[in-house]
């Protein structure tokens, strides 16, 4: 199953505050050509703000990022996160297995 959200937003403070929900879901940081990081959270906005403030050094290596998200209920959020990681293999997520 591919990424279901066609919307993307500039990865900036103003854009996060205006576009990222304080809801449960899976989010992605990406450039035009690279999936950089995929995360999951009960509060997408809060986690995006953490990344913007430098919580992941690898993410900081990529200029001009965008973010996207899918609203996902907590019971299936981790499953969807794992599914997206396997499909897109983002460069800044730790490798599993």
Chain centre distance of CA 43: 12
Which of 45, 56, 47, 46 lies closest to 18, judged by CA? 45
List, for residues 9-67, the tens digit of each pLDDT value. 999 999 999 999 999 999 999 999 999 999 999 999 999 999 999 878 899 899 899 99
β-pair type (35-41, 25-30): antiparallel
Reported as a pLDDT band with limits 50, 70 and 90, residue 2 is confident
Is the CATH number of domain 9-88 3.10.20.30?
A: no
The predicted model scores a pTM of 0.93
Task: Say whether 71 sits in a helix, a strand or coil.
Answer: strand
State how far the alpha carbon of 28 is from the alpha carbons of 20, 48, 54, 80, in Å: 11, 9, 16, 12
The dihedral of CA 96, 93, 67, 13: what is its sign? Answer: positive
Name the one residue in this structure whose structure tokens are 């900036």.
12
């Amino acid at each position: 199953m591919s990424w279901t959200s066609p919307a993307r937003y500039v990865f900036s403070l103003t854009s996060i505050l205006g576009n990222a929900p304080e809801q449960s879901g899976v989010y992605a940081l990406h450039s035009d050509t690279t999936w950089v990081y995929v995360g999951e959270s009960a509060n997408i906005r809060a986690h995006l703000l953490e990344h913007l403030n430098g919580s992941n050094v690898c993410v900081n290596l990529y200029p001009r990022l965008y973010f996207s998200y899918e609203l996902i209920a907590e019971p299936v959020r981790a499953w969807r996160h794992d599914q997206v990681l396997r499909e897109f293999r983002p460069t800044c997520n730790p490798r599993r297995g």
